[in-house]
């Protein structure tokens, strides 16, 4: 193990995609893990899978529910309060409709989950970090938080908010011993499109066809690199793209 290795990490959205890959990678390095999500069966099987490698605490809550977030995180078992790393990863897109056809429920889901949920979790975890004067928050933004694309409207707005909040948190926390980093992936093949297109498997698959999308493991490696830098180094922002992607809308599809 490395000397700069964190001991305990909390990951939201650990039941799928980028969060799941990050949980697996950190477990392999022996990091104690607090893993969060809504799907109980996945949390249970994940705990079983990773418990051979490290200690695992699973917490089931919806990040949109303010009281549930507080209930789950404000009174962690004594042995679990020294959180070194918070990966604010939970989030999704819901729909890809132009603004005039957008669904208010989709808009609520994105703003409440990607923005307010991230804030609720951060607010609940920060006291532990402030107490120990040490911590690292890694927010998962997106290329969608840097560039707006057709139909991206509210999802992009939610990720622009994550970008602003990452910068703001760094300003407010850098004197408190808490590092804040933002990882902004481009296209990563996860359940993201399945959720965006409400379970339409064919439509979701098409998003990743004909080129080499990023794998969730690629992002997990970047997160691991960020949280294992020496204490005086903060990789503030990283944009991670597939070699076949140049911008939100420029993807080199060969088929
Ligand atoms: P997945 O759909 O595979 O994973 C999303 C995770 O977030 C799941 O574990 C899900 O768990 C959790 N989650 C979603 N909503 C909630 C909620 N309301 N409360 C609690 N947990 C929730 O997608 P990704 O892994 O791709 O997405 C992870 C992050 O990466 C998101 O923030 C996304 O915006 C971002 N991102 C993704 C990109 C991509 O191309 N895939 C590119 C750039 C950024 P559960 O359903 O069990 O609650
Ligand atoms: C996910 C990547 O381009 O589909 O944030 O918005 S994109």
The interface pTM score, or ipTM, of the predicted complex is 0.98
- List the structure tokens of 168: 């703001």
Tell whether 246 is covered by a domain: no
Check if the beta carbon of residue 170 is closer than 8 Å to that of residue 124.
no
Is the residue at 254 inside a domain?
A: no
Is the pLDDT at 2 greater than 70, yes or no? no
Domain for residue 2, yes or no?
no
User: Does pTM top 0.95 for this prediction?
Assistant: yes
Residues 6+ apart with CB under 8 A from 17: 188, 190, 191, 192, 216
- Please report, for the domain that includes residue 164, its CATH number: 3.40.50.720
1 lies in some domain: no
Instruction: Give a yes or no: residue 253 inside a domain.
Output: no
Confirm whether 251 is domain-assigned: no
pLDDT in tens, 3-18: 899 999 999 999 999 9
Among 63, 60, 52, 59, which Cα is nearest to 24's? Answer: 52
pLDDT in tens, 62-108: 999 999 999 999 989 999 999 999 999 999 999 999 999 999 999 99
CB 22 within 8 A of CB 225: no
Our count of domains for the chain comes to 1
Measured in angstroms, how far is the CA atom of residue 154 from the centroid of ligand 2? 12
Structural domain harbouring 16? 8-240
With the most atoms of ligand 2 within 8 angstroms of its CB, the residue from 144, 147, 194 to mutate is: 144
Tokens 């139909």 found at = 151
Residue 85 CA, distance from chain mean position: 12
Write out the two tokens for 86. Answer: 């918070």
Is residue 223 a part of any domain in this protein? Answer: yes
Question: How far is the centre of ligand 2, averaged over its atoms, from the C-alpha of 127 (Å)?
Answer: 31
Helices 118-132 and 153-173, axial angle in degrees (round to 10): 10
Pocket of ligand 1 (CB under 6 A): 12-19, 37-39, 42, 62-64, 89-92, 113, 117, 140, 142, 185, 187-188, 190-192, 195, 216
Pick the more confident residue, 37 or 1.
37
């Amino acid at each position: 193990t490395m000397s700069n290795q964190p001991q305990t990490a909390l990951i939201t959205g650990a039941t799928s995609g980028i969060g799941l890959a990050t949980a697996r990678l950190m477990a392999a390095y022996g990091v104690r893990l607090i893993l969060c999500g809504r799907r109980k069966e996945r949390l249970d099987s994940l705990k079983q899978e990773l418990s051979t490698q490290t200690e695992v605490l699973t917490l089931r809550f919806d990040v949109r529910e303010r009281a549930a977030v507080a209930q789950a995180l404000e009174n962690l078992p004594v042995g679990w309060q020294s959180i070194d790393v918070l990966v604010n990863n939970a989030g999704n897109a819901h729909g890809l409709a132009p603004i005039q056809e957008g669904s208010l429920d989709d808009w609520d889901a994105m703003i409440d989950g990607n923005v307010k949920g991230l804030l609720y979790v951060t607010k609940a975890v920060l006291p532990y970090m402030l107490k120990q004067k040490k911590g690292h928050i890694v927010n998962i933004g997106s290329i969608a938080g840097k560039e707006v694309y057709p139909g991206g409207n509210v999802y992009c707005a939610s990720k622009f908010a994550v970008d602003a909040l990452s910068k703001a948190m760094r300003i407010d926390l850098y004197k408190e011993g808490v590092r804040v980093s933002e990882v902004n992936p481009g296209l990563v093949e996860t359940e993201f499109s399945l959720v965006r297109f409400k379970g339409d498997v064919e439509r979701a698959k098409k998003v990743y066809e004909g080129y080499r999308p990023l794998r969730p493991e690629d992002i997990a490696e970047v997160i691991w690199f960020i949280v294992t830098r020496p204490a005086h180094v903060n990789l503030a922002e990283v944009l991670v793209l597939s070699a076949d992607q140049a911008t939100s809308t420029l993807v080199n599809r060969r088929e």
